[in-house]
Amino acid sequence: MPIQKIAVVGAGLMGTNIALDFAAAGFEVAVTDARPEALATSRETARANAEALAANRLLREPAAAVLARIRYREQLVEALRAADLVLEAIAENLDLKRGLFAELEQLAPPQAILASNTSSLMPSLLAANLARPERFLVAHYWNPAHLLPLVELVPSPSTSKEVLEAVRELLTRIGKRPVILRKEVPGFIGNRLAFALQREAMALVAHGVATPEEIDAVARLSFGRRVPATGIFQTADLGGLDVYLAICASLFPNLACDIEPLAALRERVAQGKLGLKTGAGWFSYSPEEAAALRAKLNAELLRRAQDDRSA
């Protein structure tokens, strides 16, 4: 049976936009959260994001028509009624997620596919106590989920081929670009790549080679410009693998290989410097600067979504 009804459990940053994405593609979505006040915030965020999509000609119908397909339910059991696919987007905590999936197995229709949006937890760990692990997988979206096309699909060794294919087909049909991992690995693909860069960048700061501002300039003005066009391996093919081999041989022994988060990061977190949300992180932000940075990223992602649409 094709997937028709979606339930999203956890109406925070990710769940809100995952629900909006399915609703924009014409699906009925039920959203639930353990905190009723989270549902009110989610509704408000979805409205603002749907209006931004409409203003950028990224919806096929008025925002109100899309939003009318999202139903907010305080009771989990009501949200799960007749669901074909249940997407979990609650806090990143193994015990919490395992507890929820045990409940979902009891309450959701037996044929429902259960998917977790975990950023880091291996699907075999999450599915360890499930009676029907073949119907479970990880579907890792990127923030903001309604604007970034990638979804990493991570099956556990128990996930059935049919379940994986059903989710892949569904996501492809609604315009996402699912990538299926051939085996599970912590951090999946995207976060492993992104955090390898974070580690090296922090190490360069720690060793006094450059400031965060200078490193951001290097990233944006050099390889960062190529990545959208040629990714990683095509970039290497363009450069020449003989050249890359020579660079790897001389550089790998010198790259950061810390296995603990770097001290400078720990210190900032201990000082309450958490980034935009506290007004300071690696940089300081007035409320206006924080709003401007968010708006800049949003505008760029909306523009790229328009490019995808017209391609």
Ligand X SMILES: NC(=O)c1ccc[n+]([C@@H]2O[C@H](COP(=O)([O-])OP(=O)(O)OC[C@H]3O[C@@H](n4cnc5c(N)ncnc54)[C@H](O)[C@@H]3O)[C@@H](O)[C@H]2O)c1
Per DSSP, 280 falls in state B
Q: What is the CA radius of gyration of the chain?
A: 21
Among 3, 5, 10, 265, binds ligand X (CB under 6 A): 10
Q: How far is the CB of 119 from ligand X (least distance, A)?
A: 4
Considering CB under 6 A, how many residues would be counted as binding ligand X? 23
**20 touches ligand X by CB under 6 A:** no
Residue 15's Cβ-count burial label (10 Å; 0-12, 13-18, 19+) is buried
**119 touches ligand X by CB under 6 A:** yes
Rounded CA-CA distance 202/197 in Å is 9
Q: Which residues, 6+ apart, have CB-to-CB distance to 248 below 8 Å? A: none
Query: For ligand X, which stretch binds (CB under 6 A), given 5-13, 65-73, 179-187, 239-247?
Result: 5-13
Residue 182's Cβ-count burial label (10 Å; 0-12, 13-18, 19+) is exposed
Among 23, 27, 33, 151, binds ligand X (CB under 6 A): 33
Query: For ligand X, which stretch binds (CB under 6 A), given 137-145, 223-231, 252-260, 299-307?
Result: 137-145
Rounded CA-CA distance 310/37 in Å is 38
Taking the least distance from each CB to ligand X, the nearer of 3 and 79 is: 79
Q: How far is the CB of 14 from ligand X (least distance, A)?
A: 3
Q: How far is the CB of 42 from ligand X (least distance, A)?
A: 8
Residue 273's Cβ-count burial label (10 Å; 0-12, 13-18, 19+) is middle
CB nearest ligand X: which residue?
12
**141 touches ligand X by CB under 6 A:** yes
**75 touches ligand X by CB under 6 A:** no
**14 touches ligand X by CB under 6 A:** yes
Among 54, 90, 114, 171, binds ligand X (CB under 6 A): 90
Q: Which amino acid is at 67?
A: L
**Helices 263-270 & 190-206 angle (0-180, nearest 10):** 90
Among 6, 89, 113, 114, binds ligand X (CB under 6 A): 89
Which residues form the interface with ligand X (CB under 6 A)? 9-15, 33-35, 38, 89-92, 96, 100, 117-119, 141-143
